[in-house]
Amino acid sequence: MGKVIEIQNLSFTYPDGHKGLSGVDLVIGTGENVALIGPNGAGKSTLLLHLNGILRGNSTVKICGLAVEEKNLKAIRKKVGLVFQDPEDQLFSLNVFDDVAFGPINLGLTESDVKQHVTQALQWVNMSSYEERSPHHLSVGEKKRIAIATVLSLDPEVLIIDEPTSNLDPRSKWSLVELLNTLPITKIIATHDLELVRALCHRTVVMDEGKIAADGKTEDILTDIPLLRAHGLSK
Amino acid sequence: MKHSFIDEYSHLNSVIHRLDPRTKLIASLAFILAVMLTPTNNWLVFAFYFAIIAFMLAFSQLPPIYVLKRSLVILPFVLLIAIFIPFFREGEVAGSYNVWLWQISITYNGLLVLTNVIVKSWLSILALILLSSTTRLNDLLKALRQLGMPQVMILILSFMYRYIFVLVDEVMRLRQARDSRNFGGSWLHRLKTIGHMVGTLFIRSYERGERIYAAMLARAFDGQVRTLYQLSFKRADAFFGAAFSLVLVLPYIIRL
């Protein structure tokens, strides 16, 4: 099994002195579905931003064997599809087509390739007829799907999603879970939603205060009530 | 939440909608220029230009009431600027009034100029409504880009249009939260609260900007803006362009 993500002893301090991450070690292999859970402010989002070099800490992060460095950024950002929590931030174009095409165009693909990638990505998320719609008119569930399509169009090797089910009603949530289950790709999902974790991920990493508190099989971690309670994940 | 959009009817499919955005943009600007250059008292020519625009509005399938309402929005602005013209023009006096210490008088010449300003701006706004209601903003921006407007301006306009409604939503939520907590008190206190709201809104927009930029970077953005051009200049555009320019200068050919 190849390694998609290798992180050794990663620490990160925000410019205001606030400690974001300290001493994180994490290896994720090809094809794994990993959940990243933890209380608010545990450092989940900060960790995700390190996985495609938007933030860079003081240690080695390797993505598909490539070190996260200035010269590799473009290659890494093609391999890592990062979906942000608020689709309002992710979708910044005036219509869905332009948003989904944004990544492929930046990679310098030809016009027909770009169109093909967009069509394919929208097909994966079942939103084929939405090309000409404006993001502002979509429902939250639709926005989330389009947001996922905007990174799928880059043909990534790993899909990283921050809080995919926040603000979704149960029906949209379960249809999203179904969609994510059908995508044959390595997935890392940061969330508070333990139902989602149970339905999607075989491995779970618990984070708290910028450190990894536990890492193991989902069924073991989700049944360890004292552990969950200690990290604010159970009442 | 539901907002009004400047390109509300741009999804219709009429002859005018199907024209290339560049053709429409240039035609609109030419129309406005022609209206502006028409001499003050040439009412026949104004009537002729109104006929042109009315004719095209009819073709565009836009609801007339909608167009009329939209076009009236411009009047307060025009009046605000132009209302003093009748008082300052020299010429034959139409009416003279005593206001406290001053004597002010309105001249026929001034009234003529005022009417003229109103008619010209109304005709121009009709042309712009026709343009913006029959062209998707996205296409309009692409047209502007291809006609040589700097990319930075296009980006600013595009982001503005995308996020203005998100901001309006945010303001409405802030206001609802404020009013739910019995907003009131002294004048100074209220002013302070509004100041805090404006500040909050600024910081939120700033942070949103950073998140959007991160989302752009995550999709291989490297500072270079690239777009696919999907505009096509068709034969209909050539016909329309030629016919429209002919019609614009027609009043001068036949010496109306």
> By percentage, how much of chain A surpasses pLDDT 90?
60
Task: Inform me whether the pLDDT recorded for A77 exceeds 70.
Answer: yes
Chain A residues near residue B170 by CB distance under 8 angstroms: none
In a domain, A67, yes or no: yes
Q: What pLDDT does residue B141 have?
A: 87
B211-240 per-position pLDDT tens digit: 999 999 888 888 777 777 667 777 888 888
In this complex, the residue of A84, A106, A136 whose CB is nearest that of residue B220 is A106
Tell me the whole-structure pTM to 2 decimals: 0.78
Q: What pLDDT does residue B222 have?
A: 80
Most A CBs within 10 Å: which of B219, B225, B228, B231, as the mutation test of the A interface?
Answer: B219
Stretch 91-150 of chain B: residues touching chain A, C-beta under 8 Å: 136-138, 141
Which region holds residue A68: left if phi is over 0, alpha if psi is between -120 and 50, else beta? beta
By the CB < 8 Å criterion, does B208 face chain A? yes
Q: What pLDDT does residue B230 have?
A: 66
By the CB < 8 Å criterion, does A156 face chain B? no
A151-199 per-position pLDDT tens digit: 999 999 999 999 999 889 999 999 999 999 998 899 999 998 999 999 9
Which backbone phi and psi does A12 adopt, to 5 degrees? -150, 130
CB of A93 closer than 8 Å to CB of A131? no
A77–B218 C-beta distance less than 8 A:
yes
Q: What pLDDT does residue B234 have?
A: 79
pLDDT tier at B16, thresholds 50, 70, 90: confident
Strand A158-162 and strand A61-63: the pairing is: unpaired
pLDDT tier at B1, thresholds 50, 70, 90: very low
State the Cα–Cα distance between residues A186 and A34, nearest whole angstrom.
Answer: 8
In a domain, A43, yes or no: yes
Chain A residues near residue B208 by CB distance under 8 angstroms: 88-89
State the Cα–Cα distance between residues B19 and B231, nearest whole angstrom.
Answer: 10
- Min Cα–Cα distance to chain B from A233, Å: 27
Helix (H, G, I), strand (E, B) or coil at A164: coil
Q: What pLDDT does residue A167 have?
A: 86
State the Cα–Cα distance between residues A109 and A119, nearest whole angstrom.
Answer: 14
In a domain, A160, yes or no: yes
Identify the closest residue of chain B to A93 by CA–CA distance. B162
> What's the whole-number mean pLDDT along residues A89-102?
90
Quote the tokens at residue A20: 């974001």
Task: Inform me whether the pLDDT recorded for A4 exceeds 50.
Answer: yes
Burial A165-187 (b: 16+ CB within 10 A, else e): beebeeebbeebbebbeeeebbb
> What's the whole-number mean pLDDT along residues B173-182?
84
B25-69 per-position pLDDT tens digit: 999 999 999 999 888 778 888 899 999 999 899 888 888 898 898
In a domain, A30, yes or no: yes
By the CB < 8 Å criterion, does A119 face chain B? no
Task: Inform me whether the pLDDT recorded for A231 exceeds 60.
Answer: yes
pLDDT tier at B5, thresholds 50, 70, 90: low
By the CB < 8 Å criterion, does A75 face chain B? no
Chain B residues near residue A150 by CB distance under 8 angstroms: 219
Task: Please report, for the domain that includes residue A108, its CATH number.
Answer: 3.40.50.300
By the CB < 8 Å criterion, does A108 face chain B? yes
Q: What pLDDT does residue B2 have?
A: 55
Stretch 166-185 of chain B: residues touching chain A, C-beta under 8 Å: 166
- The number of domains in chain A is 1
CA end-to-end span of chain A: 37
Quote the tokens at residue A42: 């545990």
Task: Write the ipTM.
Answer: 0.81
Give the domain extent around A191: 3-230
> What's the whole-number mean pLDDT along residues A16-23?
87
- Min Cα–Cα distance to chain B from A221, Å: 31
By the CB < 8 Å criterion, does A143 face chain B? no
Chain A residues near residue B226 by CB distance under 8 angstroms: 105-106, 108
B84-100 per-position pLDDT tens digit: 877 777 777 777 777 77
In a domain, A90, yes or no: yes
Q: What pLDDT does residue B4 have?
A: 59
B102-158 per-position pLDDT tens digit: 777 778 888 888 888 889 999 999 999 999 888 888 888 888 888 888 888 888 888
State the Cα–Cα distance between residues A234 and A163, nearest whole angstrom.
Answer: 18
Chain B residues near residue A80 by CB distance under 8 angstroms: 218
> By percentage, how much of chain A surpasses pLDDT 70?
100
In a domain, A68, yes or no: yes
In a domain, A235, yes or no: no
Quote the tokens at residue A131: 């090309």
CB of A30 closer than 8 Å to CB of A53? no
Domain ranges of chain B: 15-146+231-253, 151-218
Report the candidate in A38, A77, A97, A222 with the shortest Cα–Cα distance to residue A160.
Answer: A77
CB–CB contacts below 8 A, A to B: 78
C-alpha distance from residue B60 to each of A58, A118, A165, B11, B240 (Å):
61, 31, 43, 11, 14
